[in-house]
Structure 1
């Protein structure tokens, strides 16, 4: 990081410092969003109780390794801010770092679109004009919401962070009530009938079931790096790692409980047929209409809070990348309240554009969920790879052999897990990711030209060509109908 950037970050940190509780609330607030309210139906479409238990074990262990990676990197590389982006650049160079920053930002924007889709689908249960959240009326209202939030956030990051902490507490109440009620109403016979999730009981069938849930688990866990992204606002550096792990473990317990208990309430076929948000339908089957109403209100509060947190994180990544001369200079601009106003404008513009695309999607929520997850995989893989590289090169571990061995195992498991996620996502969403990554390279070219530098090194040119070829194949697939949204 350049001296200019370090100074700017130091000034921002001294002006706005967040304690452990607020950082943890940001991690929880980032992860507990749209995803948790869609878990019963999404899991039932893929698997039964046994597959769900295995999936949460795999996802929980894998994401915990990633959480430990972010905790370790936050402590060992305190000079690196904005988490995911900074780690990719430090480990593998400027162009991979740019891809990580741009991909993470695009992932957050697409995820924000899924939030608006789910809100309008929830309202659509009472107002038919909103449909499944992808009608013209639903998109128009969502766009108004996007820019209303935009103007609230530009008033100041600190105020928005305080609002997020309050929202995080408020939205957890209906979810915790859901877990308590379903625990009391547990139906052992229904749970047993849902155990295998299908007629085939082979290891191969079970593997395919678990694989089919992986992008869903990625989506609900997005935000595990939340505290690292807000490194420059932390009151104490060690709080970044603590908030990451504490927030993760709390959310894992909640997600697994919501999923597994739903299998003890309705049959797999009934869960699969529920309207999203499926948590509302599950609770309604136990307590009646007021349960669906409670969940619907909780969802709207939850999703708006998550939208706030993710908009902040997206803009923060662009802003810090620009401060570090890895994005165009216009993204450095702050307003009087210290909000990265130009980065926020770009974020709101992309969210608006993707909202418009959902008008042409067969299943807008599922499409945005999977694309959001796919875009996040490259940044996660590069961050885990950087942690592994540090242990292999002994960078910072010269006199800590025991700590190096532990961190080596953790980083290696995180790399294996994220690589498996890319495999589980499948070729379709990898190509769609390239469709977004390749045009984004324009920002990298602008940045290099601003610095008077050569646009691509030979290795960077190879990576760029791979991205362009992938994008061309992706566009061809969309045009021919081989890839559908």
Structure 2
């Protein structure tokens, strides 16, 4: 549908519909893994602190994206456009490449989670990273690839099914666990092991993963019946999702001892609900997850290819990534996207906990685009409130990079450094010098991090 055709309807979306769009963009596969991921890191008290920090920090980021969308409407090439406007072409390239790579690795986590779910019925799939699981996942990746090539660009009907499939099981999970609440079990799970700061830090990449898509709220401005509804929808939708995620996490502590949750297979929500109501609970969660994840995979694959395609059209990626097929699908960008997804799937064969690895790497790769966007908002200035929100978003994102730890910082460099090849091709196409002095320094730092990361992988200092 063209922008002209969409515009009449675009002015008629009420607050409730906008809020639902915000919720739909954030509720994905990550919520189904929360009980085990949190139990491995902390207890009830640490979980409360973690969600308060994550909620406040991500809300600041949501406000940043909303403000930038209003103040800089001409920067409509995606989240990386803010990095380019604020810090130059090479950081802008890194932001686009990191956002794309984050989406691709996130898609790998979907296949791992699906195969882990099916592993309860098909032992050969294990925890989603056995040879059989990876082989089937790769076949599915390229099956989706060729389906999208045939012009599957609008997935409205699929997304409606997906939204129902993922939200109803989660709401039932919360309702059932609230009814069957075991106060003794909850009290026994109050405290985790070790310093509280380290417990909370261990949850941060998990919270980032489940909130990925928060920046999507800013694109709904043009659909609003009233402009002020966008800010309200952002807050209402975000708070609703935060309440849902926190409820899933905290109520799980009342269903099973922490030690048992730590050992659940993913999706751990299935095991928690099964302990409360029996086998049908696990079936309900598993079925909802598979439909949800397949729909999310389609949406995020399209989004990942679109990031490369739009960046190429703006001369920030090589020209070959602008190629479309006769169905209007960005074919070259889609090939690169499916290729990276396949490569990371193969890497999961060597991971002890493939889902957690891909979850944390997805989050770590997304931090550079988020940090640069927040930094641009600070440089842009504005009212005292706008500056305070932007500064808090920078502080929160910088803390996330610290919380990610050295391992995932080095692994991010291993992904980012080879991506510079695309930057070099782009510069050469336009007959420009490869690096400015500042860009050269950044390249050398990232390359050094990548070398250390590869050596760390070879020696066991860095593990996946």
TM bucket, shorter chain: over 0.9
How does the TM-score come out when normalised to structure 2? Answer: 0.93
Q: Match for residue 188 of structure 2?
A: 193
1:371 CA displacement: 0.8
Q: Matches of 1:107 and 1:48 in 2, distance apart?
A: 29
- Structure 1 residue 287: Cα displacement: 0.4
User: 1:183-221 CA distances to partner (integer Å, 9 max, x unpaired)?
Assistant: 1111111111111224x6xxxx11111111001111111
User: Residue 131 of structure 2 contacts residue 349 of structure 2 at CA under 8 Å; is this kept in 1?
Assistant: yes
Give the Cα–Cα distance (whole angstroms) in 2 for the partners of residues 13 and 336 of structure 1: 20
User: Greater CA deviation, 98-107 or 324-333?
Assistant: 324-333
Q: Which of these residues, 422, 426, 430, is aligned with residue 447 of structure 1? A: 426
Residues 442-451 or 301-310, more deviating: 301-310
Counterpart position of 2:344: 354
Structure 1: distance between partners of 2:205 and 2:86? 26
Corresponding residue for 2:241? 251
Cα pair distance change 1:251/1:157, threshold 3 Å: farther
Q: Distance in 1 between matches of 2:313 and 2:230?
A: 21
Q: Is the 8 A contact 2:411 2:450 kept in 1?
A: yes
Does 2:458 align with 1:479?
A: yes
TM-aligned CA distance change 1:386 to 1:12, over 3 Å: farther
Corresponding position of 1:97: 92
Asked if 1 retains the 8 angstrom alpha-carbon contact of 2:134 and 2:345, the reply is: yes
After TM superposition, where is structure 1 displaced by more than 3 Å over at least 4 residues in a row? 11-30, 154-158, 230-247, 335-338
Name the residue aligned to 2:64: 69
Distance 2:180 2:386 in 1: 43
Pair 1:84 & 2:79 matched: yes
Is the aligned partner of 1:287 residue 2:277?
yes
Q: Aligned pair in 2 of structure 1 residues 246, 444: CA closer, same or farther (>3 Å)?
A: farther
Residue 50 (structure 1) shift: 0.5
Alignment-derived partner of residue 123 in structure 2: 128
CA distance 1:243–1:94, change in 2 (3 Å): farther
Contact persistence 1:29–1:165 (CA under 8 A): no
Q: Distance in 2 between matches of 1:347 and 1:166?
A: 25
Match of 2:43 among 45, 48, 52: 48
Deviates more, 1:118-127 or 1:150-159: 150-159
The yes-or-no answer on 1:465 pairing with 2:444 is yes
Paired with 1:441 and 1:277, the residues of 2 have a C-alpha distance of: 36
User: Which residues in structure 2 correspond to 1:270-285 (within 5 Å)?
Assistant: 270-285=260-275
Task: Tell me if the contact between 2:367 and 2:400 (Cα under 8 Å) persists in the aligned partners.
Answer: yes
8 Å contact from structure 2 (residues 189, 253) kept in 1 = yes
| Aligned residue runs from structure 1 range 317-466, under 5 A | 317-391=307-381, 397=382, 404-466=383-445
User: Given the superposition, is the C-alpha separation of residues 147 and 246 from structure 1 closer, same or farther in structure 2, using an over 3 Å criterion?
Assistant: farther
Cα distance change, pair 16–154 in 1 and its aligned pair in 2 (3 A): farther
Equivalenced residue count is 458
- How far is 1:31 from its partner? 2.7
Q: Does 1:32 align with 2:22?
A: no
Instruction: Find the aligned partners of 2:365 and 2:320 in 1 and give their Cα distance.
Output: 24
**Aligned residues of 1:161 and 1:309 also touching (Cα < 8 A):** no
User: Residue by residue, what CA displacement relative to the aligned partner does 1:394-431 show, whole Å, maximum 9, x if unpaired?
Assistant: xxx4xxxxxx1111111000000000000000111100
- Indicate the SS of the match to 1:483: coil
Aligned to 2:163: 168
**Range with bigger deviation, 137-146 or 118-127:** 137-146
1:139 to 134, 139, 156: 134
- Kindly indicate whether the alpha-carbon contact (under 8 Å) linking 1:25 and 1:164 is maintained by their aligned counterparts in 2: no
Change (3 A) 1:243 1:97: farther
SS of equivalent to 2:200: helix
3-state DSSP of counterpart to 1:178: helix
User: So what's the TM-score if we normalise by structure 1?
Assistant: 0.89
Name the CA distance, whole Å, in 1 between partners of 2:342 and 2:19: 29
* 1:92/1:60 CA distance change after superposition, 3 Å: same
Whole-angstrom distance in 2 between the partners of 1:237 and 1:426: 43
Tell me the CA shift for residue 237 of structure 1. Answer: 10
